[in-house]
Each structure stands twice: as C-alpha cells, then as structure tokens.
Amino acid sequence: MNKEQPMKVTTTLLAAALPMLLATGAIAAPKTSVKAALTQEPQSLDPIFDTNLPALNIFYNVFDQLTGIDAGGHVVPKIAVSWTFTPDLKGWAFKLRKDVKCQDGTALTAADVIFTYETAKNDPKSRLGGYLTAIDKIETKGDDEVDFTLNKPFAPFDRQATLVPIVCKAAYQRLGAAQFAKTPVGSGPYSVVAWTPGDTIALKRFDGYWGKHGTYENVVFQPVPDETTRANAIQSGDLDVALLGPSSVPAVRASGAVNVVSVPSNRILYLGFVATSGWLAKPEIRKAMDMAIDRKTVSERLLAGSVQPTSQLVAPVSFGYDPKILATTTDVAKAKAMIAAAKYDGTPIPLSYPSTGLPQIDQIAQAVAFSLQQVGLTITLNPSEADTYINTWFGDKLVGAYLFAFAPSVMDADLPFSMLLRTGGQGYFSDPQIDALLDKQIGQADPAARAASLSEISKIVNDKTYYAPLFIDIYTYGVAKDVTWSPRPDGMIVFN
C-alpha cells in the first residue's frame, strides 16, 4: 500500500499542473482541427453527379465504397469484407459488413448499395453512371450481400467498385437530391457540417464509424485555386495541408516553416487532338506535334523536376503501365519536315486548356504552344475556367488540340483507356483495333495476359498519335509541422 502512494501523489500533481502547462504553452495542446486546400471548389457534394478530384477529396472522407484502393494501389475491403466472381467474370458477389452506420444513425445495408448504383445508372445527368455501363442487374441476398450480373466480362470490377461512394438511401430520399448535394449523409469517417459556397466545406469526425476513426475532430476544406496563394497560406499557418505548384516548392522548402512531402502520382497530363477534322485529322501533323515538344526541358527548367516525361496515358502506379515504352524523343528537324511534307497552310490551330486546377497550366500551355510554333504551326491559346472546360470536354465540344489530365483513382488502365480511347468515348477518333483490344483485356483474368493487351493499346496510341501524353505528375504538399498526414498517389486528402 505504501508503495502505491508516490504514484498517486505524482498523478495528482500532474493532473493539477496540466491545465497550467497547456495554458502557458509549455506543453502543446493536442491539435483537434485542420484546414486543407482544394485546388477548386466541387460542383456538388452528391457523388452521383460530381466525379472530379476536388469533390472526391470530400467524398473519400464522407462516404464509403464497397472496396478501396490503398496507398500502394492495391484493392482492399471497405464496406465489402470479401467478394467472389464467376469464371466468366460476369458475376460478382460482395459480402457486406454488418456494423456499418450512416451518419444519421441508420444501418447501412445492401438496400443502400443497390439504391446508389441504380440511381447512378438510371439518372441521365449522373456522371457516375458512365462508370457503370457494364452492370446488367443488381440483386440482394439478405441485408449483407449484393450480387452484380454484368453484360460482359469485367476483370477489374472490384477496382471499379471503388469509384462508387455509397449514399444512405433514407437520407437521400428524405432530403431530396438538391438538398443532399449540399448536406450529404454517408457512412465515412467524417460528416458534412456545412458547405459555404465560395468559402469552406466543414467536416466533423463521425465517432460511429466502423473503421479507423478520423485523426482530427474537425476538418475544413477551402478552395484555393491560385498556387501562389496556397503557398503563402501554408507558410503563414492559414492552411495545414496544401498542394504546392512546382514554382513554389523551392521557396516553401527553404523557408523551413512547414514540412514538404512528395509522392509520384497517378495523374497524366496529356495533349489531345480532335482528330476527326481539319489539319489534326492528318496523323503526320499529330506525330510532328508530339515530336516537337521538349518534355525534358519543360520538366527540368519550367516545372523544377516536379513531373516526369512520359508517352503513356497511365502512370507507373497504375496497372497496365509498361516500363518498356519510353517518352517520345524530341526531334525538331524531323517535325518541321513532316509539317512541310503535309503542306500545312498556316491555318490557326486552337490549343484549349483549363485555366485553373492543374499546376502551372498557363506556363505549360505557353511552352507547348512555343514548341509547336517553332516547327511551323500557328497556335492560338484558348483557356477557359475549369468548370466550363470540364463541361466542354464531357460534351465533346472541344476543337483543335487541348491539354488535360486524367488521374484514375482505380489505379487501372482500363478506366482512362475506355473513356479516352473507345469509340463513342471522350476521344475524337475511332479505332476498331483498340476497341477489340479493350474488349479482350477486360475479359482476361490472368494479370500478365491483360497487361500485355493494355501495353499493345498504348503502342497503337503512340504509333497513330491519337494523344501525346506529356508528363506524370509528382504531387508535392506543404504540411504543417504539427499535422500527421501522408500524401497518396491518387491525390486524395484523407484524414483517417
């Protein structure tokens, strides 16, 4: 008994002294709130209608999916604890957790999963529905199993499921789609407290979450499109996590005010071509444009090594990347000769791009335009605000050449290839050979065989120059020194 007394006295003294130590700053109070920057504001907080990266940062904190992708690019369980598929890859069964709660206290069951998928598939305004065209039928077996019947074999369907945040059916129907888009209800580690358009999106930790709880009690996302503003705000302490533009990295690192962390990303910046009309219908003109761009110089001198040159539409972190396909070698003389041989008449070729949302995109567009002008092309820059540009891209209304990026959160080449290369997708060409290879790879259960098919597609894209992939982004962030957070290749700012 006497031996225990010193411990009691010490504990009592510490308890009495702790408030004083915290008040004087001798011991730092645990951090309970963080503020993170978005590169632009979401269009909606309803995952059925917004699939862009700024919104996904919110969705990955507020909602769950059947499966997830970890930081290494591997498929992992989330709401689904396990899944199986039939030999023909057309039947997929997902067994659900039984302890998942929505943020309004209701249980999340198979009914919520089916409601989400069917709403996304059937609403013509749903952008999420574009990912679900392979689904023919969805059924339940009790409250804890969802069975999908597909209209074709689909080898990466478990990865595709990571694209679909599950909304809570009762809340969606109670609030209606318009209100749900402002105050959504999910089952993720954080719930939405308030969205003040043009200002902030405030989240609060959901203590009823089934998995690893949020690191911080409160998270605030603030749209800060301007790279310089983000860099200044992270150094001044107005932000705790912020994506840095390449030109800002050296100064932020030199300041010592914050930690600077980087990760090779899944995002590819590419030059696209409307190859169905005008001079860009000529493959030799497209090839010349690809060869004219000095990727190495742009990477090293303009972007301070924050990107890696590439000639593929997927990054090394994604399944389907082929390390044997090297970046295009710059050859200005050959590009000039090809353009002269094509008898190009000087007709201006517009170069469209989103003016915000991509690091130093104005400077990149100017550098690309300069390279193209050096080989004899007349280029006119055509920037537009990011939301307008995205809508134009989705509406297949671009003209000339255009700069854009693709970052498949599924970490699999099938998604960007299907959207950008398949006939009827977002590309401006049709190639039966690519269509056939896309159909082939999606039904190949053997990863090596499937990787070979995807590699063949990349080679065709390069040979015919349907696109000129330019760079693999390296995501670099400023992080407050009292914040625990690590970057992910998919660019998601997640706090659990």
- Residues 429-455 pLDDT 10s: 999 999 999 999 999 999 999 999 999
Residue 30 pLDDT grade (very low, low, confident, very high; cuts 50, 70, 90): confident
Among residues 48, 46, 55, 14, the alpha carbon closest in space to that of 386 is found at 55
The pLDDT assigned to 429 comes to 95
Tokens 């994506």, located at residue: 243
Q: Name the strand (E) or helix (H) holding 467.
A: strand 467-479
Query: For 478, how many CA atoms within 13 A lie in the half-sphere containing its CB?
Result: 32
Three-state SS for 295?
helix
The pLDDT assigned to 285 comes to 98
Task: Please list the residues that pair with 272 across neighbouring strands.
Answer: 402, 467
Q: What is the DSSP letter of 123?
A: -
Query: For 238, how many CA atoms within 13 A lie in the half-sphere containing its CB?
Result: 11
Q: What is the mean pLDDT of residues 461-484?
A: 97
Residue 375 pLDDT grade (very low, low, confident, very high; cuts 50, 70, 90): very high
CATH number of 265-474: 3.10.105.10
Under 8 Å between Cβ of 360 and 269? no
In sequence order, what are the residues at sequence separation of 6 or more whose Cβ sits closer than 8 angstroms to the Cβ of residue 246?
A: 302, 303, 304, 305, 306, 307, 359, 360, 476
E-assigned strand segments in 51-108: 67-69, 75-77, 80-85, 91-96
The pLDDT assigned to 24 comes to 53
In sequence order, what are the residues at sequence separation of 6 or more whose Cβ sits closer than 8 angstroms to the Cβ of residue 429?
A: 273, 275, 276, 466
Superfamily of domain 47-175: Dipeptide-binding Protein; Domain 1 (3.90.76.10)
User: Which long-range contacts link 451-459 to residues 24+ away (Cβ below 8 Å)?
Assistant: 451/319, 451/320, 451/322, 454/319, 454/320, 454/322, 454/413, 454/414, 454/417, 455/320, 455/322, 455/324, 455/325, 457/413, 457/417, 457/421, 458/312, 458/313, 458/314, 458/320, 458/322, 458/325, 458/413, 459/325
Three-state SS for 404?
strand
Q: Which two tokens stand for residue 88?
A: 């023909």
Q: Name the strand (E) or helix (H) holding 448.
A: helix 447-464
The torsion angles phi and psi of 399, rounded to 5 degrees, stand at -130, 155
**What's the rounded Cα separation, in Å, for the pair 154 and 175?**
34
Among residues 174, 439, 367, 471, the alpha carbon closest in space to that of 183 is found at 174
The answer on pLDDT for 108 being more than 70 is: yes
Residue range(s) occupied by CATH 3.90.76.10 in the chain: 47-175
Residue range(s) occupied by CATH 3.40.190.10 in the chain: 178-263
Residue 19 pLDDT grade (very low, low, confident, very high; cuts 50, 70, 90): low
Q: pLDDT digits over 157-187, tens only?
A: 999 999 999 999 999 999 999 999 999 999 9
Percent of the chain with pLDDT over 90: 86
Q: Round the average pLDDT of the chain to a whole number and report it.
A: 93
Under 8 Å between Cβ of 474 and 249? no
The pLDDT assigned to 37 comes to 98
CATH architecture under which domain 178-263 falls? 3-Layer(aba) Sandwich (3.40)
Residue range(s) occupied by CATH 3.10.105.10 in the chain: 265-474
Amino acid at 165: P
The pLDDT assigned to 304 comes to 87
Residue 5 pLDDT grade (very low, low, confident, very high; cuts 50, 70, 90): very low
